[in-house]
Amino acid sequence: MESQTVSLPMDAERQIAHTDRFWQSYRRGLPVVEVVTLEHHRLPQVECDVVILGGTLGIVIGCALQRRGWRVAVIERSHLRGRAQEWNLSRAELEPLRQNDLLTEAELETAIASEYNPARIGFYGGSELWVRDILNIGIDPVVLLHTLKEKFLSAGGHLCEVTEFKHLAIHPNGVAVQTDSQAKPRSAPLTGRLLLDAMGHFSPIARQARRGASPDGICWVVGGCAHGIPNCPHGDLFYTFSPCTGATQDFWEAFPARDGRTTYLFRYGDLSRPDHTFAQMIADYTQALPGYQQVAGDRIKLHRLLMGFFPSFRDSPWRSPWPRVVPVGDSSGLQSPLSFGGFGAMVRHLPRLTDGIHDALHLDYLGRDDVRALVPYQPNISITWLFQQVMCRQPQMVNRLLDLAFTQMASLGEPVYRPFLQDALQWQGLTQTMVRMAIADAPMILRIAAELGIPNLLDWFGHYVHLGRYTFLANYCSPGFEFHWQRQEQSWRYGAGLDSVASP
């Protein structure tokens, strides 16, 4: 394969061919296998409180629940160990790991492989914005997952490695998970009260729940970690250095890493791109990389190569059609179509999910409506769908539009641009930015609105209204409001005589 003068890892051709085969199969439509069934008879016994499918990220919430006293089993189809590629997020975003007693301060520092500042945001033909403390921490997944795995096991957790999920039966009093393991053959299914699906974007449970629906958007990404690129103290979060020359715009990320420099090329599109191949995208990546990093291509030695794609669905998160099943992480679709999801999205929702699942188990609220409440609609994520549509429909205008947007956000300050970059868009900042964009370049905004069409704009406006409503309610539910609500609940309980304790 032609790689220009950039050196690729020895197994690159095999990896590229494998990814292309999976992409073409996915584009044609993967079969919907009925892996979940409802049963009407009760289980004779239930071994666990929670069964988690998918250990790479499932171990995070599994460890949190196990340390709260619940009986948790994690099923992982391979060995539970992290990859060498670092996970990037900010130090503040790591706080849930410490606050949930998953890592001590010393353990957290040990898991940090790299740290840098500042990071650049810039678009071809426009200005640059430099930000600090956003995706500037590189976490070593090998160290992190090993630490969490040991804590999970020492707390009494049950881990099934090299074990493949086959079937889920939902009973009135629990779930039964059928698996296939060469390491430890098991004839009887593993049973639990609640199942968490952490199998990622391509979960067969999620595919069945969505009835095989095709994704509305795709993000393709290729990249890796290389030696030979001069040390650079800063990174790139969202960067373009060329105009759009085809059906998609090339975006770049770059981070200093412990063993080199990590760079990614990513593009947005949908399934209407039958001509897309990862072989061509890798060729584009290796051809552009020397110019992007300002170094001769024959000096760049890629020792790790990463490639893949992230499907996204407008109707997200999916609402569980079953009781006792909760999707978590990428399986749920509870991340922006503009982001990669993964570890950052899991950690962001960790406090909410841990508290919610703890309460659901404690109160035995595990019915269909109960588990749906654990993965709620979030308008600040749904509202980003319009931006994804712009990426696909108007690639020739993307650089100009993004430069305008970030110029206005920069003028409004960090409280506006930081939430956007951390996948937590806020109503006030969005409103201020849109007003300024319309004033600064009304013709372009009108042209893009016309291209998107009335249905898309009305759908977006509905999410925008909900975002404003959620903002109002979140601010209204102050500590004072919660105080009075709790006193009212106690008034009802005591007034009804339900506070009395039965004699032994």
Helix H segments across 185-328?
Answer: 204-209, 278-293
- pLDDT, average across residues 260-272: 93
Residue 500's pLDDT is: 58
> Is residue 117 pLDDT above 60, yes or no?
yes
pLDDT band (50, 70, 90) for residue 202: very high
Residue type, 113: A
pLDDT band (50, 70, 90) for residue 18: very high
| Token couple for 373 | 């409440």
Is residue 252 a contact partner of residue 261, using CB atoms and an 8 Å limit? no
Q: Domain extents for the chain?
A: 12-29+214-312, 36-114+137-211+317-377, 380-476
Helix H segments across 414-478?
Answer: 414-421, 427-440, 442-452, 454-476
Span 74-87, pLDDT tens digits? 999 999 998 888 99
> Is residue 368 pLDDT above 50, yes or no?
yes
> Is residue 462 pLDDT above 60, yes or no?
yes
Lowest-confidence region among 48-52, 64-68, 78-82: 78-82
- pLDDT, average across residues 444-462: 93
pLDDT band (50, 70, 90) for residue 481: confident
| Token couple for 331 | 């399986």
Nearest Cα to Cα of residue 268 among 216, 325, 196: 216
Residue 474's pLDDT is: 83
> Is residue 178 pLDDT above 90, yes or no?
yes
pLDDT band (50, 70, 90) for residue 25: very high
> Is residue 461 pLDDT above 70, yes or no?
yes
- pLDDT, average across residues 56-84: 96
> Is residue 248 pLDDT above 80, yes or no?
yes
> Is residue 504 pLDDT above 50, yes or no?
no
Span 330-351, pLDDT tens digits? 999 888 878 767 898 899 999 9
> Is residue 503 pLDDT above 70, yes or no?
no
Q: Each residue of 467-496: b (16+ CB within 10 Å) or e?
A: beeebeeeeeeeeeeeeeeeeeeeeeeeee
Residue type, 14: R
pLDDT band (50, 70, 90) for residue 396: confident
Residue type, 298: D
| Token couple for 394 | 């108007």
> Is residue 407 pLDDT above 60, yes or no?
yes
> Is residue 502 pLDDT above 70, yes or no?
no
Span 415-427, pLDDT tens digits? 999 999 988 899 9
> Is residue 280 pLDDT above 90, yes or no?
yes
Nearest Cα to Cα of residue 161 among 170, 169, 152: 152
Q: Which uninterrupted H or E stretch holds 13?
A: helix 12-28
Position of tokens 């969490």? 148
Is residue 161 a contact partner of residue 76, using CB atoms and an 8 Å limit? yes
DSSP string across 184-208: S--SSPEEEEEEEE---TT-HHHHH
Nearest Cα to Cα of residue 46 among 176, 244, 192, 205: 192
- pLDDT, average across residues 160-172: 97
Lowest-confidence region among 3-12, 19-28, 109-118, 120-129: 3-12
CB within 8 A of 491, min separation 6: which ones?
none
Q: Each residue of 439-462: b (16+ CB within 10 Å) or e?
A: eebeebbeebeeebeeebeebbee
**CB 124: neighbour CB atoms within 10 A?**
17
- Mean residue pLDDT of the chain comes to 92
Span 297-338, pLDDT tens digits? 999 999 999 999 999 999 899 999 999 999 999 999 888 878
Residue 2's pLDDT is: 41
Residue 61's pLDDT is: 98
Residue 275's pLDDT is: 80
> Is residue 465 pLDDT above 90, yes or no?
yes
Q: What are φ and ψ of residue 133, in 5° steps?
A: 60, 40
Lowest-confidence region among 358-362, 391-395, 409-413, 487-491: 391-395
Residue 4's pLDDT is: 52
Is residue 127 a contact partner of residue 403, using CB atoms and an 8 Å limit? yes
> Is residue 53 pLDDT above 90, yes or no?
yes
| Token couple for 197 | 């699906």
Residue 84's pLDDT is: 84
Residue 285's pLDDT is: 96
CATH number, domain 36-114+137-211+317-377: 3.50.50.60
Residue 475's pLDDT is: 80
Residue 77 DSSP code: S
